[in-house]
Structure 1
Amino acid sequence: MIKNIVFDFGGVIADIDREQAVQAFIRLGVKDADRILDKYHQTGIFQELEEGTLTEEAYRNELGKLCGRTLSWEEVQQAWLGFFTGIDVRKLHYLETLRREGYKLYVLSNTNPYVMGWACSERFSSEGKPLTAYFEKLYLSYQIGCTKPDRRIFEFMLTDSKMQPEETLFVDDGASNIAAGRELGMYTFQPENGSDWRDELAKLLIRLK
């Protein structure tokens, strides 16, 4: 019986567009943004930021060197927000329904302070609610110190939350992340980025009862 549902953030809760983000970082001055940026797993200083080995300030300084100028915190955040194309409020309402039905909801995300500065604010949804309003807890790579699909980030979440894998459904649009969750004994569901997965998830939860 499923008691817990763990959601990825980018690509599941928030729709993302890698090409849009690439253009945002090119406008910032990162000439090789197309090589550096990935929908699922970053590289270089982008990866170090998401793993928490670079602070947001140190990352901004390093990014500034790539761009050949000093960058403001707001400029860097705006570039990162280039990944996101929108928040479907119907998904947020469905999350509220799931909680009323008794499910405990969590986020497990490869992310960084710039993105979460927006997501955990009232700017996140059209209804003025932050991401934290919809979940028991957020498990964020830069706070934990590793990124999906590293087994350690899953193990940290399971231990901290006291979730049992066999009672947990993991929802992520990345194939390698889904494989890692399945290896740890969780049920999994892989919707496509940007899809309206509500009906499919509801049917799956009925089957898993």
Structure 2
Amino acid sequence: MIEAIIFDFGDVFINLDHDATPKALKELGLKEWNEELHQLNQKYEIGKIDEFTFMTGIQKFIPNAELVDIRSAWNAILLDFPLKRLEFLQMLSSKYKLFLLSNTDATHIEKFEHQLGMSFAREFYGCFEKVYFSFEFGFRKPDENAFKFVINNHNLIPKKTLFVDDKLENIEAAKKLELQTWHLQVGKEEVTDLFNRI
């Protein structure tokens, strides 16, 4: 019997275009996304560095690009958030304890809130007992500490908790902690199909 559900954010609720940011950065002159940039991104996603440090870190590899253009390219990944997903979530929140667990950064969240409006964002956040963004609490999936943090903070019973994510590595990490899982297939499945899974 499922009592609680932990959701991922990107490609579960908000649609993403994973090719858009690399393409936009390439247009600004970035030759390749290298290991230094990967490490920089990881630090930014767990709040170890601020936005300015992150953006200037990228700018080092594309010195002719303006920071505002780099920021815009970084946010190109974010697409729409279908209203039916919010309505489904609102209905679900009366039946289960819901949590959001997302690997994300301050830039993307600010863009999401601006793009869809704060009233929409507040309605979305209001569906959850607690929202966990990696840049705010310092852990990112698939680190098992990210899951343990949520489980322990809310006294969740893993076997009675469902974790929904589109990335297999995160699903596998959750399974090791005995969480129930749904590996959502983007483009083939909808989060609104959840009741078919429970």
Length-normalised TM-score, structure 2 = 0.87
2:156 pairs with 1:151: no
In structure 2, what is the Cα distance between the partners aligned to 1:77 and 1:104? 35
| Alignment partner, residue 43 of structure 1 | 38
Cα distance between partner residues in 2 of 1:2 and 1:79: 40
Alpha-carbon distance in 2 for matches of 1:76, 1:138 = 27
How many angstroms does 1:147 deviate by?
A: 1.6
1:97 aligns with one of 91, 98, 111: 91
Indicate the SS of the match to 1:162.
Answer: coil
Aligned match of 2:62: 67
Residue 22 (1) aligns with residue 13 (2): no
Question: Is 1:184 matched with 2:174?
Answer: no
Residue by residue over 1:109-161, the C-alpha shift from the partner in whole angstroms, topping out at 9 and shown as x without a partner, is 11100011123x25336x94104233222111122223211111111111222
Q: 1:124 aligns with which of 105, 116, 137?
A: 116
Contact 1:15 1:194 (C-alpha < 8 Å) held by counterparts: no
* Moved segments of 4+, more than 6 Å: none
Indicate which of 42, 48, 53 corresponds to 2:48. Answer: 53
Q: Counterparts of 1:96 and 1:28 in 2: how far apart (Å)?
A: 40
> Relative to 1, partners in 2 of residues 1:13 and 1:86: Cα closer, same or farther, differing over 3 Å?
same
Q: Give the counterpart of 1:80 among 54, 66, 74.
A: 74
2:184 and 2:191 in contact (8 A); partners too? no
Asked if the contact 1:16/1:194 (under 8 Å) is kept, the reply is no
Mark the CA change 1:204 to 1:160 in structure 2 (over 3 Å): closer, same or farther. same
- How big is the shift at 1:171? 0.2
Instruction: Tell me, yes or no, if the aligned pair for 2:55 and 2:71 is still in contact at 8 Å.
Output: no
C-alpha distance 10-30 of structure 1, shift in aligned 2 (>3 A): same
Which runs of 5 or more residues in structure 2 are unaligned? none
**Percent same amino acid among aligned pairs?**
28
1:98 and 1:17, CA in 2 relative to 1: closer, same or farther beyond 3 A?
Answer: same
Could you say which residue in structure 1 is the equivalent of 2:194? 201
On the 8 A contact 2:13/2:191 being kept in 1, the answer is: no
Name structure 1 gaps, 5 residues minimum: 37-41
CA distance in 2, matches of 1:15, 1:60: 23
Letter in 2 for 1:18: H
Q: Is the 8 A contact 1:11 1:194 kept in 2?
A: no
Q: Which amino acid aligns with 1:108?
A: L
Over 3 Å counting, the alpha-carbon distance change for 1:44 and 1:92 in structure 2 is: same
Residue aligned with 1:30, SS: coil
Q: Are 2:7 and 2:98, in contact at CA under 8 Å, matched by a contact in 1? A: yes
Residue 200 (structure 1) shift: 3.2
CA distance in 1, matches of 2:125, 2:96: 16
Give the stretch that moved more between structures: 135-144 or 2-11. 135-144
